[in-house]
């Protein structure tokens, strides 16, 4: 294994209102649920899991000038994360309502709040060698896209490696596969799930634009495709508590191993183990 570079994550930070449903939602009627408010946001989740794996982590995000934003910064800082947050004087901190079905699958109602206003001027990368991990939500919002593109450009200029999680198939379809792939062209690792890979046009098309694609298959594990070789691992166990943040955790587990020089199989296993751990409890962050 080699010395791991600092990872700078660019992505959303906010609160998740997680509603673990007792049954199927019936329009116009009441549905019982266990409701929990927990820290969330794809950027914050991945950063927290990276810190759990002993990585040096910086996190670039935008939060509101409110208690939610201050609490988010304090909690992440306590985890050892360097929070490079811009404070928005107008928009509130991100809040997401997460509806978790009895089988653990989640549906999200997202208000990105201050994250929508992330600006290229907010992207100040730490000095020295590093790796940039970018959440696709930043690219998939017209308002924050210039910041995401600036992050990728600055990372490449600095000679960093890069990874991008596309995050949302429905928004990729709206933007268009060719358009999204033009934004991430040259990325070292693209990290879609099966639905996102389908929205992007499939493995062969994606590998024309990025160096490697790592695909998560939910309960069926994950696979790595480089155009030269392929590796796959199965999920070691299956939980049905809450799938929120499983992909964010997978990204952290994978990157912690990959950046230490692990083989694709070893990196995949690390990612799948982290993603599996995330589904075992309510909330997207590691247990304190």
* Dist. CA 57–CA 47, nearest whole Å: 6
* Dist. CA 107–CA 134, nearest whole Å: 22
Q: Which CATH number fits domain 6-13+41-93+112-278: 3.90.78.10, 3.40.1190.20, 3.40.5.10, 3.40.720.10?
A: 3.40.1190.20
Q: Is 229 exposed, middle or buried (0-12, 13-18, 19+ CB in 10 A)?
A: exposed
Of 113-122, 124-133, 260-269, 270-279, the least confident? 270-279
pLDDT of residue 4: 80
Q: Cβ of 61: how many Cβ atoms within 10 Å?
A: 31
Q: What predicted TM-score, i.e. pTM, was given to this entire model?
A: 0.91
Helices assigned H by DSSP within 53-167: 67-78, 136-139, 145-157
pLDDT of residue 63: 97
For 123, phi then psi, to 5°, come to: -90, 95
pLDDT in tens, 87-100: 999 999 999 998 98
């Amino acid at each position: 294994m080699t010395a791991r570079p600092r990872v700078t994550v660019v992505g959303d930070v906010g609160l998740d209102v997680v509603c673990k449903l007792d049954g199927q939602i019936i329009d116009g009627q009441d549905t019982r649920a266990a409701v929990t408010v927990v820290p969330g946001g794809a950027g914050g989740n991945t950063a927290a899991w990276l810190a759990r794996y002993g990585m040096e982590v910086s996190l670039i995000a935008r939060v509101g000038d409110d208690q939610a934003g201050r609490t988010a910064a304090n909690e992440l800082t306590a985890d050892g994360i360097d929070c490079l947050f811009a404070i928005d004087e107008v928009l509130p901190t991100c809040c997401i309502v997460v509806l978790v079905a009895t089988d653990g699958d989640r549906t999200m109602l997202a208000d990105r709040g201050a994250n929508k206003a992330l600006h290229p001027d907010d992207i100040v990368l730490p000095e020295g060698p590093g790796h940039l991990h970018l959440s696709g939500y930043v690219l998939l919002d017209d308002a924050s896209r210039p910041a995401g593109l600036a992050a990728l450009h600055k990372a490449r200029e600095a000679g960093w490696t890069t990874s991008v999680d596309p995050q949302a198939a429905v928004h990729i379809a709206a933007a268009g596969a060719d358009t999204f792939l033009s934004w991430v062209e040259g990325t070292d690792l693209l990290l879609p799930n099966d639905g996102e890979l389908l929205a992007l046009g499939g493995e062969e098309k994606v590998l024309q634009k990025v160096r490697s694609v790592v695909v998560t298959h939910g309960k069926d594990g994950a696979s790595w495709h480089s155009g030269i070789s392929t590796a796959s691992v199965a999920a070691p166990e299956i939980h049905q508590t809450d799938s929120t943040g499983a992909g964010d955790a997978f990204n952290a587990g994978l990157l912690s191993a990959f950046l230490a020089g692990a083989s694709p199989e070893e990196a995949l296993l690390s990612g799948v183990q982290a993603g599996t751990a995330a589904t075992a409890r309510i909330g997207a962050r590691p247990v304190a």
